[in-house]
């Protein structure tokens, strides 16, 4: 997997920040029923097509594992310290 | 957006609940019978209005013994859920005890799923100890304190902050 070039990533990041700020401004300015209705419509549309997800269960889990490996995150370690085992 | 603070609780009135919210709420209703929990990460932002969905909802629960986990496992299976990790209850428990996550979903539908982990470090513990009760349309969601969502020590700090601009200043002032 080839990561996108840094310039593209930076441009993408800036665009996302701009959008999030814009959207947050709008969410603050309207009543709860308005922003949540928009949010619901979007999420429900995605939810309605959840069974058309192009991966199988195994492929999905493999993808998560691959992403974890690429990110350098360790799996399940360090072990849970004793003080959390009560 | 309007958020009310009543005692220690946050209330968001007149907010429509999506299918995703209802799925999470159903799972939490069952989980709460056996274990407290705290929701962390992206779904917290969604609850406060972020315009995105998520394929997994991250939940932390305190460490529990195998027999209690067996009960939780069996209840979810009876209620029509399944665990994505291809293990039986003991195998799933081993995954949790090793510090990794297990994934719970509705049978034959792995998107969205609930990623469950045991509390395993100080930041998890902070999220759990200081969790906030958020009530939306009579449904309870225990969420992590918002400040712990902002990881300023890493490069993702700015992105984390940007997930959280939906709280009114009035409410932030009281948290």
- Note which residues in 137-166 of chain B have CB less than 8 A from chain A: 158-159, 162-163, 165-166
Q: pLDDT value at position B171?
A: 44
Six-digit token string for A1: 């997997």
> Are both A33 and A61 inside the same structural domain?
no
How confident is residue B154, by pLDDT bands cut at 50, 70 and 90?
very low
> Are both A10 and A42 inside the same structural domain?
yes
Percent of chain B past pLDDT 70, that is, above it, reads: 85
> Are both A57 and A46 inside the same structural domain?
no
User: What is the domain range of residue A73?
Assistant: 53-86
Six-digit token string for B170: 């009035």
pLDDT digits (tens, 9 = 90+) for B51-80: 888 989 999 999 999 999 999 999 999 999
Give every strand in the sheet of B102-106, ordered side by side: B4-6, B9-12, B132-136, B139-143, B38-40, B56-61, B109-118, B102-106, B81-83
Average pLDDT over residues B2-30: 95
pLDDT digits (tens, 9 = 90+) for B22-54: 999 999 999 999 999 999 989 999 999 988 889
Is residue B166 over pLDDT 70? Answer: no
Q: pLDDT value at position A5?
A: 85
B163 three-state secondary structure = coil
Is residue B173 over pLDDT 80? Answer: no
> Are both A45 and A34 inside the same structural domain?
yes
Domain count, chain A: 2
> Are both A70 and A41 inside the same structural domain?
no
Output the pTM of the full model.
Answer: 0.84
The bridge status of strand B139-143 relative to strand B132-136 is antiparallel
> Are both A7 and A27 inside the same structural domain?
yes
Burial state string for A58-69 with b = 16 or more CB within 10 A and e = fewer than 16: eebbeebeeeee
Q: Is B78 left (phi over 0), alpha (psi -120 to 50) or beta?
A: alpha
Any idea which of A16-20, A72-76, B44-48, B109-113 has the lowest mean pLDDT? A72-76
Give the DSSP H/E element, type plus range, for residue A67.
helix A57-71
> Are both A59 and A78 inside the same structural domain?
yes
On chain B, the residues whose CB falls within 8 A of the CB of A39 are 16, 18, 46, 49, 51
Report CA B77 to chain centroid distance, whole Å: 20
> Are both A37 and A60 inside the same structural domain?
no
pLDDT digits (tens, 9 = 90+) for A35-57: 999 999 999 999 998 888 888 88
Average pLDDT over residues B125-146: 95
If one compares B151 and B150, the residue with the highest pLDDT of the two is B150
Whole-angstrom distance, CA of residue B150 vs CA of residue B165: 11
On chain A, the residues whose CB falls within 8 A of the CB of B103 are 61
> Are both A60 and A41 inside the same structural domain?
no
Any idea which of A27-31, A76-80, B21-25, B162-166 has the lowest mean pLDDT? B162-166
Query: Cα B154–B155–B159 angle (5° rounding)?
Result: 110
Q: pLDDT value at position A20?
A: 87
Is residue B165 over pLDDT 60? Answer: no
Six-digit token string for B92: 């799933």
Cβ-nearest to A20 among B2, B18, B165? B165
Q: Is A43 on the interface with B (CB under 8 A)?
A: yes
Whole-angstrom distance, CA of residue B119 vs CA of residue B99: 8
Is residue B169 over pLDDT 60? Answer: no
pLDDT digits (tens, 9 = 90+) for A4-37: 788 998 999 899 889 988 999 999 999 999 999 9
């Amino acid at each position: 997997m080839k990561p996108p070039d840094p310039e593209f990533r930076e441009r993408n990041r800036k665009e996302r920040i701009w959008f999030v700020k814009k959207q947050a401004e709008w969410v603050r300015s309207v009543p709860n029923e308005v922003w949540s209705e928009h949010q619901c419509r979007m999420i429900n549309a995605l939810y309605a097509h959840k069974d058309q997800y192009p991966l199988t269960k195994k492929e999905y889990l493999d993808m998560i594992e691959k992403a974890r490996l690429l990110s350098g995150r360790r799996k399940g370690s360090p072990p849970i310290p004793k003080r959390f085992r009560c | 957006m309007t958020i009310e603070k009543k005692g220690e609780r946050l209330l968001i009135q007149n907010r429509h609940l999506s299918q995703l919210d209802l799925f999470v709420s159903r799972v939490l209703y069952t989980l709460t019978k056996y274990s407290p929990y705290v929701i962390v990460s992206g779904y917290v932002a969604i609850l406060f209005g972020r315009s995105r969905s998520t394929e997994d909802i991250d939940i932390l629960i305190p460490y529990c013994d195998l027999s209690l986990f067996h009960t939780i496992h069996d209840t979810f299976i009876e209620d029509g859920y399944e665990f994505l990790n291809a293990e039986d209850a003991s195998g799933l428990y081993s995954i949790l005890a090793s510090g990794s996550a297990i994934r719970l979903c509705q049978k034959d539908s792995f998107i969205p799923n609930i990623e469950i982990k045991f509390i395993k470090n100080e930041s998890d513990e902070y999220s759990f100890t200081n969790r906030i009760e958020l009530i939306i349309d009579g449904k309870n969601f225990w969420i992590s304190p918002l400040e712990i969502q902002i990881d300023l020590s890493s490069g993702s700090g700015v992105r984390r902050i940007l997930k959280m601009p939906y709280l009114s200043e009035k409410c932030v002032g009281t948290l």
